[in-house]
Amino acid sequence: MTGPDEHERERVTAALEALVDEYAAQGRERLPSERALALTLGVSRNAIRRGLDTMEAERRLVRLPGRSGGAFITAVIDATPIPPFLFDTRAPRIVRDLDTVQGVPQMLRAQGFEPATRIVSEALEPAPDIVAAILGIPTGGPVVSLLRLRLADGIPLSLERMYLDAERFPGLLDHSPIHSLYTLLSSAFGVNVATSDETIEVTAASRQVAGLLGVRPWEPVLAVRRISRDDAGVVVETSVDLFRADRTRLAVSTVRT
């Protein structure tokens, strides 16, 4: 029952999908022109175009302009879910080893990249609830808030937000700009980071984050949350690192216990 007063989008979409399937089954790769499709389905060319837009966004079609252009059905080459090429890990990504507590600059240099750090902001702030709870200080207590952009070969790699207890590390910001924080904590305060707990998930880059990282807004990024503790198990710092998903590979080795 395709009533005349309902929108045509579903009908057009369904018809186009059926047509694509039919063409694919026959091995025909080019759809009829938009104008021809509009005539056939009895709708305007705009309606056809919106339907094709959807299928192009889903990578089912590729559209090319020009005399011999048209809408081409995406090859049935990727017929296998999780194809074997995914097993290849040689692609040129920057590897972040989760087995070691290592600074980003050392990590980059070891892989042949030229590291750089841009301090976006360094400030003394009252601690938000969650941060205070993690650091074990009262809400609103003073914390050092660092926001740093890491670059590899001049291209943004990650954006890092770090919080430290300002009363435990007085005058920390006087050492600005801070590049190797762990070294500074060790030499100036005698505090060594012994263990880290990290969690990893995928989030979307906000407009601001995307601008700093040089990606499109709402592109996926890897969010690595970290809580670092000293030898006594006391929390030293907590951070969130946002890594560009297109440049990063995380690595971890596990020994069965």
Q: Which tokens in the block code for residue 85? A: 């090429």
* Residue closer to DNA, measured from CB, 20 or 71: 71
CB atoms within 10 A of CB 43: 18
Q: What is the rounded distance in angstroms from the CA atom of residue 162 to the CA atom of residue 227?
A: 10
- Residue 143 CB: number of other CB atoms within 10 A? 26
Q: Which is nearer to its own copies, 40 or 121 (CB)?
A: 121
Establish if 65 lies at the interface with DNA (CB under 7 A). yes
CB nearer to DNA: pick between 49 and 249? 49
Q: How far is CA 110 from CA 105, 158, 184, 253, in A?
A: 9, 17, 21, 18
For DNA, the closer CB: 12 or 157: 12
Q: Is 60 in the site for DNA (CB under 7 A)?
A: no
Q: How far is CA 56 from CA 63, 70, 217, in A?
A: 8, 12, 20
Q: Which does 177 bind (CB under 5 to 8 A by kind): its own copies, DNA, none?
A: none
Does 109 participate in binding DNA (rule CB under 7 A)?
Answer: no
CA distance 26 to 84: 26
If the CB atoms of residues 67 and 256 are measured against DNA, the closer one turns out to be: 67
> How many residues at the interface with DNA, by CB under 7 A?
28
The partner in contact with residue 35, picked from its own copies, DNA, none with C-beta cut-offs of 5 to 8 angstroms by kind, is: DNA
Which lies closer to DNA via its Cβ, residue 48 or residue 146? 48
Distance CA 135, CA 244 (A): 27
Three-state DSSP at 84 gives helix
Least CB distance to DNA at residue 5 (A) = 5
Residues that bind its own copies (CB under 8 A): 57-60, 78-82, 84-89, 93, 95, 98-101, 120, 128-131, 134, 147, 159-161, 163, 192-203, 206-209, 212, 217-218, 220, 222-223, 225, 238, 240, 242, 245-246, 248-257
C-alpha–C-alpha distance, residues 130 and 127, integer Å: 8
d(CA 26, CA 57): 23
The answer to the question of residue 63 lying near DNA (CB under 7 A) is yes
Which residue ranges make up the site for DNA (CB under 7 A)? 5, 7-9, 12, 31, 33-36, 42-47, 49-50, 52, 63-71
